[in-house]
A and B are shown apart, each in its own frame.
Chain A
Amino acid sequence: MADPVIRVIDLCKIYKMGEVEVAALCGVSFTIERGEVVAIMGPSGSGKSTLMNLLGCLDRPTSGEYYLDNEKVSDLKDDELSVIRNKKVGFVFQSFNLLNRTTALGNVELPMRYAGVTKGRKERARQALEKVGLGDRIDHRPTELSGGQQQRVAVARALINDPAILMADEPTGNLDSKSGKEIMELILSLNREQGTTIILVTHDPSIGAQAQRVLRIRDGALESET
């Protein structure tokens, strides 16, 4: 395919810890096509979180180029990155990261608020919650929902602005195996039904096995692509 959604060229991230420079990631290049399900795997400390932060536009690389949806995002400013995250990236975190003060509906609405959407927000948020199977829980607060339900709210929130990629960082890490399976099923069904590009960051081989492709990271470099 000629139009990859992610193109990474010689990506490096170097942290300065006092006098010492630590290369968390170096010389990583790959592409991810639209509609792919890719798992990024590696032991802890391998640089996989750093890579996820860079791919999710939460951080900027020290050097190298990163094209997301044909846009060069590797040297954008903070606020420009915010806009990119808002429109092109959906996040699902291990610890859900929902706002406990507000309802499921309010949580799903939030990215639309930052996107400046004024009309039909509630309706769109409600539909998104119905799609993840929480149509009867829209007015519940996160504390009134089970872990699996909370993660479903997070998935609905991640998809509300129709992002180019969905980044899931250990999405099942805080769930029991049954809820974990359900969440994985939900995420994979999004890929099947809507063609959403999905990037899974995990060290769980059983999750990696469900991806079409696995990028293995070790010591800050791409070890293998299978």
Chain B
Amino acid sequence: MNIGQAILEALESLSANKLRSGLTILGIVIGVAAVIAMLGIGAGAQASITSTINGIGSNLLFIASGNQNVTLTNIKPLTVEDATALADQSLAPDIALVAPSVSIFASTVTYGKQNASPTITGVTPAYATARNLTLTEGSFITTQQEQGRAAVAVVGSAVGDRLFGYHVGITGLTLRIENQPFKIIGVLTTQGGSSFGNADNVMYIPMSTAQTRLANRGQDRLSSIIVSATSSDTVNAAMQEITSILETRHKTQPGLDDFTIITQAQILSTVNSVTGVITLFLGGVAGISLLVGGIGIMNIMLVSVTERTREIGLRKAIGARKRDILIQFLTESALLSLLGGIIGIGLGYLIGFVVGKIAAASGSTINPVISFDSILLATLFSTAIGLFFGIYPANRAASLQPVEALRYE
């Protein structure tokens, strides 16, 4: 008997028991759909986070004060002088841009009776370049404004919406931070929701202004320094230059640095490993339901073998060999799981699509990635499950002695 015939015959016998076959298939459908959807959503979330991080720029290094790996008693803060030293081309040839920043905490922004609490950061003009910030109107903070401690602000669209109800044509208006007037000079392009809070609820003011008029700490202290390497290939060289410059300035021993440098790649790999683990975990849970579906196939095939003992006896009496019976039952179980797999892929795709829509509606973009790999994997895996769980019942059928099988009532 060739395979084509075996498949036709298997279809015939499966369709003789449509409800039972359908329910058995359902077990595999749910398993495969869960695996496909989970892997797809996981990959989609990962892609979304990766693109968010890459959007920041792939040659960036973030320098922060402190070191989580060792306990230090005398931590020198990052200062404006540190930033100036890093910008020295002769000491650090691989650094293209240095963008120091000061974070202002717990400041209320008001306009008339409206108020907002955006993340306020004091920055230099280099910051816009380093972070790839773009504006829909006005302009970013200029060097003159930075040096002149001008009371100006660049606002994110969400801040405009909150204070004015809209974010178009608000350049030139004056709002108040801690009751001090600031003139709006630009509005940032709306970025949409991201996994890290609302990227539009932000506000940038000149760093010097922040240090002198808003920050309650030492004037030249910085919250962080963003450094842009000349290219993504020189990130490691830039990191070494930063380390040696800051070690010299802070007089620290290697390994006992009182600052931390994080590269884009490190953030990405950390996030990827976390999302990878989550995806694997979800996929594993979904895999268990696939296993349960496989056991369902085995169960139903065992019932089917018992039910069809006489048929098996007859087939053997008219010349079926062990192999023929084995192939017949294996084809049936493989077909059950293959059908389940195919329907499951469709359902999984649909679930992923719906989840993507729900995520988009709630403000974060997840485009589930149903890759060819995962489809191939699910198809092969579900067929393998059918074969694996079909072997025992099929072997049992094939080993029946014709005399006993024919006598079976």
Contact = CB atoms under 8 A, between A and B. Distances in A.
A222 B276 CA distance: 78
B238 to A, nearest CB: 72
Nearest to B402: A58
Interface stretch (A28-36, A80-88, A122-130, A213-221): A80-88
Interface string A102-141: 1000000011011110100000000000000000000000
Nearest to B318: A111
A66 interface: no
A82 B316 contact: yes
Interface residues of A, number: 26
Given A58-B402, A99-B311, A79 B5 contact: no
Given A58-B402, A114-B1, A101 B319 contact: no
Contacts of A79: 321-323
Interface centre among A59, A110, A113 (most CB of B within 10 A): A113
B317 interface: yes
A58 B403 contact: yes
Contact of B16 (A101, A110, A111, A116): A101
B270 interface: no
Contacts of B311: 99
Contacts of B320: 82, 86, 114
A3 interface: no
A113 B5 contact: yes
B117 to A, nearest CB: 73
Contacts of B137: none
Nearest to B320: A114
Nearest to A169: B406
B329 to A, nearest CB: 15
Contacts of A59: 401-403
Nearest to A59: B403
Nearest to A50: B403
A157 interface: yes
Interface residues of B, number: 23
A53 B403 contact: yes
Interface in A37-89: 53, 56, 58-59, 78-79, 82-83, 85-87
A158 B320 CA distance: 14
B13 A101 contact: yes
B319 A87 contact: yes
A97 interface: yes
A97 B406 contact: yes
Contacts of B316: 58, 82, 85
B293 to A, nearest CB: 25
Interface string B306-340: 00001100111111111110000000000000000
A110 B5 CA distance: 11
Contacts, number: 63
Contacts of A116: 1
B317 A58 contact: yes
B406 A86 contact: no
A114 B322 CA distance: 11
Interface centre among B1, B314, B315, B316 (most CB of A within 10 A): B314
B179 to A, nearest CB: 87
A111 to B, nearest CB: 5
B318 A91 contact: yes
Interface string B253-296: 00000000000000000000000000000000000000000000
Nearest to B401: A59
Contacts of B317: 56, 58, 85, 91, 97
A110 to B, nearest CB: 6
Contacts of A82: 316, 319-322
A114 B315 CA distance: 9
Interface string B377-409: 000000000000000000000000111001000
A85 B316 CA distance: 8
B161 interface: no
B311 to A, nearest CB: 6
B12 interface: yes
A157 B314 CA distance: 12
Contact of A113 (B1, B322, B402, B406): B1
A58 B406 contact: yes
Contacts of A93: 314, 406
A187 to B, nearest CB: 17
Contact of A110 (B318, B403, B406): B318
19 contacts: A53-B403, A56-B317, A59-B401, A59-B402, A78-B321, A79-B321, A79-B322, A82-B316, A82-B322, A85-B402, A86-B319, A86-B320, A97-B317, A97-B406, A99-B311, A101-B16, A111-B319, A113-B5, A114-B1
Given A59-B401, A97-B310, A114-B319, 10 more contacts: A58-B317, A85-B319, A86-B318, A91-B317, A91-B318, A93-B314, A99-B314, A101-B16, A114-B318, A114-B321
Interface of B: 1-2, 5, 12-13, 16, 310-311, 314-324, 401-403, 406
